[in-house]
Amino acid sequence: MTMIMVNIHEAKAKLSEFIDAVERGERVVICKRNHPVAELRRVEQKRTEPRPLGGAKGIVIPPSFFDPMPDDFLDAFESGPVYPPVKASASRVAETSSEVRAAPRRRRPR
């Protein structure tokens, strides 16, 4: 991939030529007083066909993957708690109780 550097005046005069170059895969950098200010580059084309599932070599998605899940599994999944209850440990209870006091502040030396 090559890069073409042009000034603004030349870019305006030959825009269609530079767009053709961009379609071929080249980059066009537009300069103002020899300092790059803009770049023409190719726009990525949208996918025309769906992306295949898996993507990695050796991964095969069986047709049963698309079968509906059993009702008993869905019922258990949807009716369970969002966050299961957590048992509080003894050390965690001590940290949250009022018995824990903040350390006294130290004074900075002058």
Dihedral sign from CA coordinates of 19, 22, 24, 26: positive
Instruction: Find residue 3's DSSP bridge partners.
Output: 27
Residue 72 lies in a domain: no
Task: Name the region of 55 (left: φ>0; alpha: ψ -120 to 50; beta: rest).
Answer: left
Residue 24 lies in a domain: yes
Q: Report the CATH number at residue 33.
A: 3.40.1620.10
For residue 79, the number of C-alpha atoms closer than 13 Å in the C-beta half-sphere is 6
The burial of 14, by beta-carbon neighbours within 10 Å (0-12 exposed, 13-18 middle, 19 or more buried), is given as: middle
CA 39, CA 29: separation in Å to the nearest integer? 4
The answer to whether residue 76 is domain-embedded is: no
Q: What pLDDT, in 10s, does the model give residues 11-35? A: 999 999 999 999 998 999 999 999 9
Overall number of domains in the chain: 1
**Residue 10 belongs to a domain:** yes
Residue 50 is assigned to a structural domain of this protein = no
Residue 93 falls inside a structural domain? no
Interval 34-80: pLDDT, tens: 999 999 988 888 888 887 766 677 777 888 888 998 888 888 878 87
Neighbours of 77 (CB within 10 A): 9
Predicted confidence at residue 49, as pLDDT, reads 84
Q: Is residue 97 part of a domain?
A: no
Residue 108 pLDDT more than 80? no
Range of the domain at 26: 3-40
Query: DSSP letter at 82?
Result: S
Alpha carbons 42 and 34: distance in angstroms, whole number: 23
pLDDT at 93 over 90: no
Decide if 90 is inside a domain: no
